[in-house]
Amino acid sequence: MRRQITTSTPAAVALVALGLGSAVAQAPPGGSAGVVHELMRQPVADQPGTDVIVVTVDYPPGGATPPHEHPGYTYAYVLEGTVVSQLDDQPPKTFSAGQMWSELPHQHHMVSQNGSATAPEKLLVFFIAPHGGRLTQFLPTK
């Protein structure tokens, strides 16, 4: 069963205080999707081979990521602006600052884009994923 959760919660933002890391450019095929800043990466103590990874994703105005999937559970919280997100064949949804959604492992994220052509957007994303793997796998184009 796949489900999408929408909620308003400032608790997710508190986890940013756990650590700061470096900026990493995420380069999808055919262009730049934005900038990913890794804030924390830590093993899950009672689940060997599993990490918790916390990142921010900064989208420029009109920025977007091509269709992709993630190997683990994904929780995305909108810090600034708006983002349009579409999972699998569900209708696209627009999320504003203070809202969030979740993705199941390998769920297809068909649309992920800044909802504004003039303002930047920023996400806080939590992954529970296999250790050492890529966090994003771009889907083949049709």
Q: CB of 94 within 8 A of CB of 36?
A: no
pLDDT at 67: 95
Domain boundaries, the chain: 7-57+66-135
pLDDT at 133: 87
> How confident is residue 95, by pLDDT bands cut at 50, 70 and 90?
very high
Which CATH number, 2.60.120.10, 3.30.470.10, 3.30.70.100, 3.90.650.10, labels domain 7-57+66-135? 2.60.120.10
Q: What is the pTM of this model?
A: 0.78
pLDDT at 141: 82
Task: Write the pLDDT tens digit of every residue in 2-15.
Answer: 444 433 333 333 33
Q: Which residues pair with 24 in a beta bridge?
A: 36
List the strands of the sheet with 50-59, edge to edge: 7-8, 99-103, 73-80, 121-130, 50-59, 35-43, 23-25
Report CA torsion sign: 127, 129, 131, 132: negative
As a whole number of angstroms, the distance between CA 58 and CA 81 comes to 10
Task: Write the pLDDT tens digit of every residue in 27-44.
Answer: 444 444 678 999 999 999
